[in-house]
């Protein structure tokens, strides 16, 4: 296991990715291949940005990209709830992950300044 996997924010974002993959299996066909794929891609992008921030001398751009991904994920989650693809309980579960990741990224970004 490398250093990245030991980072709490990396682990939290990877856990979110797993959660999203499990939930998307149950989306209606219309949404599974549109919003579902976009959401999965956005979380993969976030995890990738976290990895790149950890292994880069200049972390700020990667951290900013990861934080932007967090906001896009929030938008997709809200949309999926409004389209009745995920339950309120599932939204709460996802938002706990997202908020945890957001706080860690914000702290990391502040520590870089």
Alpha-carbon span 106 to 28, nearest angstrom: 34
pTM, full prediction: 0.91
Query: In which band, very low, low, confident or very high, does the pLDDT at 78 lie, cut at 50, 70 and 90?
Result: very high
Q: Give per-residue pLDDT as tens, 79-108.
A: 999 999 999 999 999 999 999 999 999 999
Which structural domain range is residue 102 located in? 3-112
Rounded to the nearest 10 degrees, the angle between the axes of helix 60-82 and helix 37-54 is 160
Domain harbouring 101, CATH code: 1.20.1440.60
Q: Give per-residue pLDDT as tens, 21-72.
A: 999 999 999 999 999 999 999 999 999 999 999 999 999 999 999 999 999 9
Number of folded domains in the chain? Answer: 1
Radius of gyration over every alpha carbon of the chain, rounded to an integer in angstroms? 14
* DSSP state string for 59-104: -HHHHHHHHHHHHHHHHHHHHHHHTTSS-HHHHHHHHHHHHHHHHH
């Amino acid at each position: 296991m490398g250093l990245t996997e030991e980072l709490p924010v990396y682990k939290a974002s990877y856990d979110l990715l797993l959660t999203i993959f499990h939930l998307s299996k149950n989306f209606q066909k219309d949404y599974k291949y549109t919003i579902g794929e976009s959401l999965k891609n956005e979380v993969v992008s976030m995890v990738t940005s976290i990895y790149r921030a950890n292994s880069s001398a200049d972390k700020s751009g990667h951290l900013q990209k990861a934080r932007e991904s967090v906001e896009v994920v929030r938008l997709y989650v809200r949309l999926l709830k409004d389209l009745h693809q995920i339950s309120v309980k599932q939204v709460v579960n996802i938002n706990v992950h997202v908020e945890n990741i957001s706080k860690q990224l914000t702290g990391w970004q502040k520590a870089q300044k």
